[in-house]
Amino acid sequence: MYFFPFLAAYLLIRRIQKAFKNTPLYPKWNRLLSASGLAVLALFIVSGLYFNHKVNGFIAGFTLLGILFYANKEDDLKMYKPLLKAHFPLVVAVLLSSVVLIIAPDFYSQWDNYFGFAVFGSFIWIYARWANTKKQQQELKIVADQKDELEIMVTERTAEINRQKEELQDTIKELRATQVQLIQQEKLASLGELTAGIAHEIQNPLNFVNNFSEVSTELLDELKTGPLEKLPEAEKEYATEIIQDLTVNLEKITHHGKRADSIVKAMLQHSRTSTGQKEPTDINALADEYLRLSYHGCRAKDKSFNAQLVTNFDPTTPILKVVPQDIGRVFLNLFNNAFYSVSEKKKELNGSYEPAVEVSTILLNGSLEIRVKDNGTGIPEHIRDKIMQPFFTTKPTGAGTGLGLSLSYDIIVKGHEGKIDIKSNEGEFTEFIICIPV
């Protein structure tokens, strides 16, 4: 009977010693655990040689009990407390059997098989608990490994998103840096060539950002149906929140990436090279042509859109030597803005308001004055000085690039030595006045 407590004590010491191996606690505990194991073996041998079985039960029981009390007080061994507690039934069974053997030997002899079964059953209970604890530790290790794997994947995806974000920010910085060069160009042909080159260079990293943001979204979807399903419910909820946040971030990256892509395409469109040669041009006919072109373009986008077109062309307007492609681009920008303004105002009022765009020309003081007026939303006074700046736009994201009026300013002022003035009352009208020397 006393064999089992000694065996349990020795195996417990060896198990803890083995668990400490390859850990920082091993040097601290190795010598003590080795000495304790040898002491247990020595007590087992001495008790077997010099004491009878009545005393051996007390020696074995109190030996195991002393080891358990000492281990329970040590912080380094607190992880083994469930296993330590599993030994107490064996201690109780052995000590109780020993007490009964001394006090009532006849009773013990009558029920010795049951006492032996209690001791043996307590011993088996220890290793049943040990096996169950070991299984739980293995399961926890699997869960911990899965959690670490998930955290690594999330970290990698986050790093990839941050890298893409940095590339996009670098691209935007490059784009802003080019606006200084755009403004400084004196010839529109050189300006268009430079802008086209920049736009093509931006297109590659921008495509990379858009493509990888979509791929990352797909990978997050795979993550939801893969390792995430193996996590416990508490951890699954937290991981799901992280994945949802990452998905929202990717959607924002995709949205702004497409926004930047539209800007690049607009730059390429605006940078189409012209001959750069001034030709005799009928400004009245050119203005009328682009007014109709812009109007039908707006109608193609919105079939319900209608506006009154008013033209007051001075019949005495002379034929001017201008670059027709560039002046046509100016007209197209101004007309598109005018139609957009009246369209937005009509959406706001949705009543008796009638959109109207008026174009007039007049020869005045040696210059041809061209006026483009609309009865739309007008331009707030506090931004009136900014609208000619590159990349500044009052339109919502995706509706404008902020390059049209800037390039129009360069065409008129730098390319044709003219000027552009703006008159506007917010909520009433906007009028652009272009003067080109005859």
Domain boundary among 248, 270, 292: 270
Quote the pLDDT of residue 108.
62
Domain boundary among 239, 270, 301: 270
Does the pLDDT at position 274 exceed 50? yes
On whether residue 115 sits in a domain, the answer given is no
Strands 419-425 and 429-437, sheet pairing: antiparallel
Quote the pLDDT of residue 372.
93
Does the pLDDT at position 356 exceed 70? yes
* 162 and 231, same domain (yes or no): yes
CA distance 120 to 81: 22
How many Cβ atoms from other residues are within 10 Å of residue 140's Cβ?
10
The confidence band for 357, taking pLDDT boundaries of 50, 70 and 90, is: very high
CA distance 309 to 335: 11
Does the pLDDT at position 184 exceed 50? no
Tell me how far CA of residue 278 lies from CA of 18, 317, 323, 416, 437, in angstroms: 93, 17, 4, 9, 13
On whether residue 128 sits in a domain, the answer given is no
* 10 and 96, same domain (yes or no): yes
* 314 and 339, same domain (yes or no): yes
Q: Structural domain tally of the chain?
A: 3
Question: By percentage, how much of the chain surpasses pLDDT 70?
Answer: 66
* 287 and 374, same domain (yes or no): yes
Does the pLDDT at position 383 exceed 90? no
Quote the pLDDT of residue 311.
92
On whether residue 63 sits in a domain, the answer given is yes
Phi/psi for 74 (5° steps) reads: -85, 130
On whether residue 116 sits in a domain, the answer given is no
Does the pLDDT at position 202 exceed 50? yes
Give the chain's radius of gyration (CA, Å): 44
* 238 and 314, same domain (yes or no): no
* 415 and 303, same domain (yes or no): yes
> 103-112, 270-279, 395-404: which has the highest mean pLDDT?
103-112
Summarize pLDDT for 309-322 with one digit per residue, the tens: 999 999 888 888 88
CA distance 438 to 429: 28
Quote the pLDDT of residue 198.
65
Quote the pLDDT of residue 113.
64
Distance of alpha carbon 182 from the chain centroid: 34
- The DSSP bridge partners found for residue 280 are 321
The confidence band for 193, taking pLDDT boundaries of 50, 70 and 90, is: low
Q: Which of 249-258, 390-399, 407-416 has the lowest mean pLDDT?
A: 390-399
The confidence band for 426, taking pLDDT boundaries of 50, 70 and 90, is: confident
CA distance 158 to 243: 10
Contact in structure between 287 and 313 (CB atoms under 8 Å): yes
CA distance 328 to 302: 23
Q: Which of 27-31, 132-136, 294-298 has the lowest mean pLDDT?
A: 132-136
Phi/psi for 185 (5° steps) reads: -70, 135
Quote the pLDDT of residue 139.
67
Does the pLDDT at position 347 exceed 90? no
Does the pLDDT at position 121 exceed 70? no
On whether residue 127 sits in a domain, the answer given is no
More confident residue, 147 or 351: 147
Does the pLDDT at position 187 exceed 50? no
Quote the pLDDT of residue 147.
80
Q: Which of 127-141, 195-209, 260-274, 325-339 has the lowest mean pLDDT?
A: 260-274
Contact in structure between 1 and 119 (CB atoms under 8 Å): yes
* 207 and 264, same domain (yes or no): yes
* 432 and 323, same domain (yes or no): yes
On whether residue 123 sits in a domain, the answer given is no
Average pLDDT, the chain: 75
The secondary structure of residue 51, as a DSSP letter, is S
Contacts of 82 (CB under 8 A, 6+ apart): 129, 133
* 365 and 408, same domain (yes or no): yes
Map residue 22 onto helix, strand or coil.
coil
* 283 and 382, same domain (yes or no): yes
Q: Which of 9-23, 31-45, 239-253, 265-279 has the lowest mean pLDDT?
A: 265-279
On whether residue 126 sits in a domain, the answer given is no
CA distance 184 to 284: 31
More confident residue, 3 or 21: 21
On whether residue 114 sits in a domain, the answer given is no
Quote the pLDDT of residue 185.
43
Summarize pLDDT for 50-78 with one digit per residue, the tens: 666 666 666 666 676 677 777 777 777 77
Does the pLDDT at position 369 exceed 90? yes
Does the pLDDT at position 414 exceed 90? no
Does the pLDDT at position 425 exceed 80? yes
What residues make up the domain containing 405? 279-437
Domain boundary among 53, 72, 103: 103
* 312 and 433, same domain (yes or no): yes
CATH of the domain at 349: 3.30.565.10
Which residue matches tokens 């430079």? 194
* 228 and 305, same domain (yes or no): no
Does the pLDDT at position 217 exceed 50? yes
